[in-house]
Amino acid sequence: MSESPILELQGLRKSYGRSEVLADVDFAVHRGEFVCVVGPSGAGKTTLLKCIAGLIRPSGGRAVFEGEEVSEPPARLAVIFQDYSRSLLPWLTVEKNLLLPLKKPKFPRATRARLIEESLENVGLSGKGRLYPWEMSGGMQQRAAIARGLAYQPDVLLMDEPFAAVDAQTRIDLEDLVLEMRRRLDMTVLFVTHDIDEAVYMADRVIVLSGAPARVARDIRVDLPAERDQVRTKNLARYGELRAEVFELIQAAKQAANTGRIPAP
């Protein structure tokens, strides 16, 4: 982590007309880090992620990915979207879905099948490649979407509230899956979520956004043991402290937003 950051946000701003969604967002992500971004609902987390992913152009400031300013979707970045049912293509099998982004000179034909197979294995979907997305459960579909991102061999994985649309049990499995995957493949992950428990459980750092217009309220280093466990980690006193800290920041952010909206007498 002594080298320059793999991703850097410099004064990022985004407005839609007169509504300012992001105001001066500044932070950096280093190679190998797992960074979670949390904030109150509607704070602009998804907007932030789309600016980083090159899907939206910022109104001011910039996102710098691997030393280059982001103006279009970067090649070494993969995004996992929240709604898996609108993310995987229903006219293709899972295999073909994973294959589609690989049909580029960057991925020689001979290696594509192997990449797909390995990715499916990494997310626990071995042998399920011939299924169509709508033949699988929500959790499996999201795994398939993650597998597609992995097969793409990105340097950074952006995840936009990927587990918001699955049930709690599945969410637990998927959280641990992502952690395991990241450990094994040494991935850099930027993970947006509204779930505070999830953010503290998974992250090396938690970036708390203020309410709209969003800026970084605090950048918290999560000093929990690297080995995370759903029961042991969440029983640690330190986990509770960190969780409380994030919770209070978000409550304050919500308050500020609410107070700000009451018109002055």
Residues that bind another protein (CB under 8 A): 50, 53-55, 72-73, 75, 77-79, 81, 83, 86-87, 89-91, 100-101, 103-104, 132, 134-135, 152
d(CA 126, CA 80) in angstroms, rounded, equals 20
Shortest separation between residue 85's beta carbon and another protein, angstroms? 9
Centroid of chain to Cα 34: 9
Query: Which residue, 156 or 179, is less far from another protein as judged by CB?
Result: 156
Query: Which residue, 179 or 190, is less far from another protein as judged by CB?
Result: 190
Phi and psi torsions of 145, nearest 5°: -65, -40
Continuous segment of H or E residues that includes residue 28: strand 19-29
In sequence order, the β-bridge partners of residue 68 are: 65
Find out whether 148 and 98 touch, Cβ atoms under 8 Å.
yes
Query: Which residue, 116 or 208, is less far from another protein as judged by CB?
Result: 116
Query: Which residue, 85 or 235, is less far from another protein as judged by CB?
Result: 85
3-state secondary structure at position 125: coil
Shortest separation between residue 23's beta carbon and another protein, angstroms? 24
Find out whether 97 and 89 touch, Cβ atoms under 8 Å.
yes
Shortest separation between residue 91's beta carbon and another protein, angstroms? 4
Find out whether 192 and 181 touch, Cβ atoms under 8 Å.
no
Query: Which residue, 147 or 217, is less far from another protein as judged by CB?
Result: 147
Find out whether 133 and 94 touch, Cβ atoms under 8 Å.
yes
d(CA 197, CA 218) in angstroms, rounded, equals 17
Q: Say which residues have a Cβ less than 8 Å from residue 121's Cβ, sequence separation at least 6.
A: none
Shortest separation between residue 90's beta carbon and another protein, angstroms? 5
Query: Which residue, 52 or 199, is less far from another protein as judged by CB?
Result: 52
Shortest separation between residue 195's beta carbon and another protein, angstroms? 21
Shortest separation between residue 79's beta carbon and another protein, angstroms? 4
Other C-beta atoms closer than 10 Å to the C-beta of 104 total 11
